[in-house]
Amino acid sequence: MKPLFFADDPQFWFETLRALGHAAYGGAEAGEVLATAERITAGDYDSWYDEWSATAAHTAETAATALAAGHPVTARDAYLRANNYFRVAEFFLHGDPGDPRIATAYEQAVGAFQTAAELFEPRVQQVAIPFEGHLLHGYYYRAPGDAPAPAVIMHNGFDGSAEEMHFFGAAAALERGYHVLTFDGPGQPWARFRDGLPFRPDWEKVVTPVFDWLIAGHPEVDPGRVALLGLSMGGLLAPRAAAFEHRLAAVIAVDGVYDLGEVSRALLPSLTPDQAEARLRAEEAPEVDAAIEALMKVNPTVRWAVTHGSYVMGVQTPRQFVAAYLDYSLAGGIAERITAPTLVCDAEEDLFFAGQALRLYEHLTCPRTLLRFTVAEGSGAHCHAGAQRLAFGRVFDWLDAVVRP
């Protein structure tokens, strides 16, 4: 898709499209997004923050005024949009974890969503799930009816939140009668920001206690019909969990990812894969450090991925982040251990993980479906940003056929 803004900065354009796409489930107004993007200086992280935070603050003020005046629907809608805009505002700031703007915008984003959640009918419930001495933060959406019904556990990926999953699947699933549980795992915003928990590759250790918590406290959930959906990097984490947690009734990877190590090794094209891995893991590799830093100067996506990735992986240097990616893989027979029916989504114009969805699909030995999304129909971007109703219609039609045959 041709960028409407930021033609020379695909990362800025993708995040603009992502923000705009959430309009499908109430997370944006097209005019607000386009007017904000028009004021931003391409490639300038401070400009990005300033303009998005201004739009977010104005929208939150509109919401508060409506609520005080007794207009809860108007307030709910504006708080949902404010949540999205505050999330977008602090998106590029994680290269300096001590930047106070991160905390300010993050708390405002969460607060806006939680206020909106109180205004839904039925109310969206905030939840805290015990996990290794900590509490994983999330939300539970109860579908109407008393008879046991299917449920979907959902989590985001490398850079998204449990709140954002409202727009990226939760609202769509609830409309179709699914109970929904969203949560932030280690490395994701609540766990990283509040508890300092970085990402970890053994995601089954995260999903199993979440599954147990859901089943133990919710008799309205049919324990034999619980699916797991992972978004973006979650398209690797969710299949990884399903390889070891066999109670899941279905797995959905939006979009599929097989081996992040391939992404890391590709940054050093002059070396063989084994050589690249060895140099990335070495105690010292000044030539690799220089190569990564050079890439960051000319490639906006690498620049953002390294700065944000160092924060969420809990490492100190760009090379340590790139090396950390090597541990996130479904190779070595892990993908082949999945037994639940699995849906792998594939975006034609994926900015981050091109080719990975097909790699995952080819390694699956369980019942499997590959669902392709194209540029021609407007859904070819990573995770189908900008085409959420189209994408999740297809996703949940597939799930209906699996758990409601």
Which residues are designated catalytic?
Answer: 232
Q: What share of residues in the chain are helix, strand, coil (percent, to 5)? A: 50, 15, 35
How many Å apart are CA 89 and CA 253, to the nearest integer?
27
Q: Are 254 and 235 in contact (CB under 8 A)?
A: yes
User: Could you say which DSSP state residue 332 is in?
Assistant: T
Q: Are 228 and 252 in contact (CB under 8 A)?
A: yes
Structure tokens, 339: 């037994």
Q: Write phi, then psi, for 267 (nearest 5 degrees).
A: -75, -10
Sheet (strand 368-373) strand order: 125-131, 134-141, 179-183, 149-155, 221-231, 250-254, 342-347, 368-373
343 bridge partner residues: 252, 369
User: Could you say which DSSP state residue 329 is in?
Assistant: B
Nearest to 260 by CA among 297, 234, 228, 288: 234
User: Which H/E stretch holds residue 240?
Assistant: helix 234-242
Q: Are 242 and 265 in contact (CB under 8 A)?
A: no
Query: Cβ neighbours of residue 70 under 8 Å, at least 6 residues apart?
Result: none
Q: Give the 3-state secondary structure of residue 233.
A: coil
* C-alpha distance from residue 385 to each of 235, 292, 388, 394 (Å): 15, 28, 6, 14
Residue found by looking up tokens 């015990």 in the block:
130
Q: Are 173 and 142 in contact (CB under 8 A)?
A: no
* HEC readout, 340-401: CCEEEEEECCCCCCCCHHHHHHHHCCCCEEEEEECCCCCCCCHHHCCCHHHHHHHHHHHHHH
